[in-house]
Chain A
Amino acid sequence: MSQAPEILVRVDRAVKHYFRGSECVEVLHEVNLEIERGDFVGLIGPSGSGKTTLLNLIAGLDQPTSGHIFFAGNEISAMNESQLARWRTNAVGFVFQFFHLIPVLTAFENVELPLLLTNMSARRRRDHVRMVLKAVGLDHREHHRPGQLSGGEQQRVGIARALVTDPALIVADEPTGDLDSKKSKEILDLLQMLQEELHKTLLVVTHDPNVAGRTRRLLRIDSGRLIEDRCDANRPLPLRRAAPVAVSSNSAGLVDQPG
């Protein structure tokens, strides 16, 4: 039995202006977009085309100059900074090109960081972090600091950190941009597993054709306008599972929804 697609993200006539001195630069021009839950979406385009700006808007890191952004039916473009911070903790996981792990913390502590903002007990936090680290294949490296890990391992920690609060959406900005081709493939495999096995919605900004080739849907942006929206009709959206068995036997999901 097929499930009806559910719209997770809706961008409604989003416009973003920046001021460079007295000059007004329009980075996004009336972008309309819908992303279905569980989809793997790639966002490509030349430098300065507005990719990262659109990503920031969808992830609640920035506000549109005009237009609206909805996430699971709630308008996030109307939230203030504190509301957005709270929302991000639970709703969005971030994977960065340069990993951005906290250098003084171990892999375990880096992954645990977002959970410190929840009211989860220390014991459950520990269990969840270990489970997620195991899922990304780093359970044996939990006590290592970022400086003691390879680039690929650091990115796995970054993915584990993005995953630990069980967000519906994972956004990644050039997640393989700082990795060699072998490590890139490993990371892409891992991201694809998140989408297919855990039914995560992935939005990936990339220049890398290999990454773009893995996505189910590919958006091309240029000069602040979406100029192409291509979907691989042969790849259906993964079925939503009751329990992410690949990672956890916890029937409530990867982690309990905090707060």
Chain B
Amino acid sequence: MSKFILLMLKNLGRNKLRTTLTALAVTVLVTICVVVLSVVATVRMQLSTEASQAKLIVTERWVAPSEVPVRYIPRLTRIRGVEDWTTWNLYVGFFDKTLRSDRAGLGFATRVENLTRMHGGLENVDPAVIEALKNEKSGVLMGSTLMQAMNWKVGQQFTFFSTSTAGKDLRFKIVGVMPAGVYPLSFFFRDDYFAEGTGNKDTVSLVWLRLRDASLAPRVISQIQHDFASSQPALKVETESSGVARFVEKGKVILFIIDFVALILSIDMVILLSNSISISTRERRVEMAVLKVLGFQPLHIVAMVVGEAMLIGALSGLAGAALAWGASALAQSGRLPSDGITSFLLVFPVPAQAMMWGALAGASIGFVGSVFPAWSARKVKVSDVFSRIA
């Protein structure tokens, strides 16, 4: 078996330029494919996590960005079944005055006292960090990817240049970092600091209500709709999971397009490999006849051709995925300048498992691409080949 693999490897080395070009093309295509699919994987993963029926989102019905009057909050939180609550005020802007897209950011002004209870993934944040946030009015809890991208450290201060509340730029002091993968590109800070700094004490972007039990959701929603039916501004209320579902509906088309692009790239790779293998088998027609003369079965020939294609596919796939993963890891660790494709990789990290999938996908593409050339090669009739030579 090892000898056959050695033979395949040697065959791949027979036309080094062609093999290198084919491998390079497949590597590049796999890299693109992996990066593109990481978008889908990241979005799907984020959508599937912790979307709960037990949490309600209350926003203003007709206006975007939503402004829910603060005066509504006592009535909302007094409804039977509501166990806990918090608010978000979205604070959008840039981390420096260049206003470059890779310096854009999103902050959430929220209540500190129940920050860890109301936000999935923050349960294990060090209590000392929460304590520091309580003690430091301008304190901020940063997303891990953001920290790496900006190359900041805890204790560092920065000014955030707001576009959502123009001219109300706030200075923050970093008191801690959120666990990896939790709100990786955002930051949390105190709602009272927001109110004081922006002067907006009357509205919040949205209200989160945590229910005692998910089964209470229909009743609480109905109660809010009833209680606020004639309120101005009107409210919209939905479960967290239905909010996610709504987002998914909007995103479905984009995800479909991305999947489609990946499919096209895969077909490209199949054609590329198939072409390369076809040329190679045509060139080695006599050689394959010789192998048959020596006693190789047609199946041996098929296995050899398919094996070569799968080998080159798997190695190129592995290389392509490793390239994407390596670039992503470097971007995540802040060792690459955070602009262009790097900032893309920051938002959509490539997991290490991509290498395994890259190799498998490459091998599969090699298999599909080599089936026809291999089938043709197996039918080489030795007597025909020799009579042509003679």
Chain A interface (Cβ within 8 Å of chain B)?
52-53, 56, 59, 61-62, 81-82, 85-86, 88-90, 94, 96-98, 100, 102-105, 109, 112-114, 116-117, 161, 165, 173-174
Contact = CB atoms under 8 A, between A and B. Distances in A.
A105 B297 contact: no
Interface in B369-390: 382-383, 386-387, 389-390
B292 interface: yes
A61 B383 contact: yes
22 contacts: A56-B383, A56-B386, A56-B387, A59-B293, A61-B382, A62-B382, A85-B295, A85-B298, A86-B297, A89-B295, A96-B386, A100-B290, A102-B290, A103-B14, A104-B13, A105-B7, A113-B291, A113-B294, A116-B4, A117-B300, A161-B294, A173-B386
B11 interface: yes
B298 A82 contact: yes
B61 to A, nearest CB: 72
Nearest to A125: B3
B294 A88 contact: yes
B83 interface: no
Contact of A94 (B14, B293, B298, B300): B293
Contacts of B294: 88-89, 94, 113-114, 117, 161
Contacts of A86: 295, 297
A94 B382 CA distance: 12
B386 A104 contact: no
A109 B383 CA distance: 25
Given A56-B386, A105-B10, A61 B293 contact: yes
Given A85-B296, A113-B294, A98 B389 contact: yes
Interface in B1-59: 3-4, 7, 10-11, 13-14
B286 interface: yes
B96 interface: no
Contact of B10 (A88, A104, A116): A104
A34 to B, nearest CB: 22
Given A85-B296, A173-B390, 20 more contacts: A56-B383, A56-B386, A62-B383, A81-B298, A82-B297, A85-B295, A85-B298, A97-B389, A98-B389, A100-B286, A100-B287, A103-B14, A104-B13, A104-B14, A109-B7, A112-B3, A114-B295, A116-B3, A117-B296, A173-B386
A127 to B, nearest CB: 15
A97 B386 CA distance: 10
A112 B6 CA distance: 13
Nearest to A205: B390
Given A52-B386, A61-B383, A173-B390, A104 B297 contact: no
Nearest to A145: B10
A59 B290 CA distance: 13
Interface in B333-390: 382-383, 386-387, 389-390
B29 to A, nearest CB: 27
Interface string B289-318: 011111111101000000000000000000
Output the residue of B3, B14, B383 with the most chain A CB within 10 A: B383
A42 to B, nearest CB: 16
B11 A104 contact: yes
Nearest to A56: B383
A114 B295 CA distance: 7
Contacts of B386: 52, 56, 61, 96, 173
A174 B386 CA distance: 12
Nearest to B289: A100
Output the residue of B287, B294, B382 with the most chain A CB within 10 A: B294
A143 to B, nearest CB: 14
Nearest to A88: B295
Contacts of A97: 389-390
A117 to B, nearest CB: 5
Given A56-B383, A56-B386, A61-B382, A85 B292 contact: yes
A97 to B, nearest CB: 8
Nearest to B6: A109
A98 to B, nearest CB: 7
Contacts of A103: 14
A196 B294 CA distance: 24
